[in-house]
Amino acid sequence: MATSSPSEKDQVTNAVASGVQAIQAASSSEDLKNVLSSLVGKKGELASIKATLGKVSDIEIRKQLGQLVNDALGQIQHAADARSRELLAGEFAQQIEAERVDLSELALSESVSRRRGRMHLVTQSTERLEDVFIGLGFQIAEGPEVETDFYNFEALNVPPSHPARSMWDTLFVESDVEGSVVLRTHTSPVQIRVMQEWPPPIYAVMPGRVFRKETPDATHMPVFHQIEGLVIDKGITFADLAGTIESFTKAFFGPGFTSRLRPSYFPFTEPSAEFDIRRPDGSWIELGGCGMVHPHVLRAGGLDPNEWSGFAFGFGIDRMAKERHGVADLRDMYSDDIRFTEQFS
C-alpha cells in the first residue's frame, strides 16, 4: 500500500504546530482573525500543500495527504475557536471595566460637579413664586392642561358666543361634541376647580402651562406659563387685592419695587384691573390681570356671593423670568441653544 512521503507529512505537522503557536500568540480578536486567515486562507501554507495534491499521481497517497491537510485545518480551527473564546472573555471584562462609572468619584470631582445641569428659568421662577406665596399664607393647587369649555370659559362667565372669547385664541382638542374640549388658554379654570373642591376660606395659587394659537415673538409664546391667585373669604375688598399685590411685589422683586393697578376688563372679575410693577429706575413692567371675583363665578364654584367675596389674579411667569434674568426674547428661553443656556449655569 502506498503512503505519503514523510517530508509532506512533516510539512503538514509543522504547519499545524507553528499555526497553533501563532494562534496562541494572537493578542486580540482582531489579531486572531488575521492570523487565522493567513493560516487557512488561499495564500496559507496548508493551501499551497493542498494545491500540490492534484499533481500526486497515486490516488491512495493523494487521499491520505488530502485527509492530513483537512485534519490539520480542523486542528487549527479548533485551536482558533478556543483562543477566540479566551480573548473575547478578556475583552468583555476590559470593556466593562472601561465603561464602569464610579459614582463616588463623580460626586467628589469638582470639575464634574461644576458641570451639573440647572433648572429651566421658568421652573426657577415658578418655584420662587410658590415660595413667596407660601410665605404669604397661600396654598398651591394644580389643574388639568386639557380642559372642558365649561371650566375654561362658561364657569368663568364667558358663555358661548360671548365677545370676550376673542381675548383668547383657543386651541381645540378633538372630541365627540365639537369645541367642548380645549387646551386651557389660562390658569383661571383652576379657580373654579378649587372653589368646588376646597371649603372656604381659600388662599391659593395655581401655577401651570397654558396654550394659545399665537405666533411666537419676543414677548409671546403659543405655550407659556401663568400663575393664578385666588382668595375667598368673608368681607374681602379691593383694598385686600391691592395690598396683596404690593406685598408680593416687594417680596418677589425686592423693596425698591412698587405696584399699581389700572382699570381693565375681564369677564370673570368685576371690577377688573391690570397690574404693573415699577422698577427702581422708574420704568414699568406689565405683569397680569386681576379683580374681584364676579358673583357668577362664585356661584359656578358653588359659593354664595352674599356670604363670600374674593379676588383673583393671573400673570405670565415666562415674562417675569424674562424680566428677572434680562432676557431680550422669550423664544431664546426655549431654543435649547447652548450659548444661551450656558449664561445661566
**Site of interaction with ligand FA5 (CB under 6 A):** 186, 188, 212, 214, 220-221, 224, 226, 228, 266, 269, 286, 288-291, 312-316, 318-319
Residue 184 Cβ, how far from ligand FA5 at the closest point, in Å?
Answer: 10
Kindly provide the b/e burial profile for residues 177-197, where b requires at least 16 CB atoms within 10 angstroms of the residue's own CB. eeeebbbbbbbbbbbbbbbee
For the chain, state the CA radius of gyration.
40
Residue 328 Cβ, how far from ligand FA5 at the closest point, in Å?
Answer: 14
Residue 226 Cβ, how far from ligand FA5 at the closest point, in Å?
Answer: 5
Which is closer to ligand FA5, CB of 35 or CB of 261? 261
Query: What is the residue-wise DSSP string for 69-112?
Result: HHHHHHHHHHHHHHHHHHHHHHHHHHHHHHH---HHHHHH-HHH
Residue 213 Cβ, how far from ligand FA5 at the closest point, in Å?
Answer: 10
Which is closer to ligand FA5, CB of 32 or CB of 155? 155
Residue 142 Cβ, how far from ligand FA5 at the closest point, in Å?
Answer: 16
Sign of the torsion formed by the C-alpha atoms of 70, 76, 79 and 85: negative
The DSSP 8-state label assigned to residue 267 in this structure reads T
User: Could you give the CA distance from residue 175 to residue 149 in angstroms, rounded to a whole number?
Assistant: 11
Check if the beta carbon of residue 232 is closer than 8 Å to that of residue 254.
no
Residue 293 Cβ, how far from ligand FA5 at the closest point, in Å?
Answer: 8
- Shortest-Cβ-distance residue relative to ligand FA5: 316
Instruction: Give the closest residue to 40 by CA, choosing from 92, 85, 10, 80.
Output: 80
Residue 102 Cβ, how far from ligand FA5 at the closest point, in Å?
Answer: 44
Report the SS3 class of residue 217. strand
In angstroms, how far is the first alpha carbon of the chain from the final one? 89
Check if the beta carbon of residue 312 is closer than 8 Å to that of residue 229.
yes
Residue that has been written with the C-alpha cell 486572531 in this structure: 32
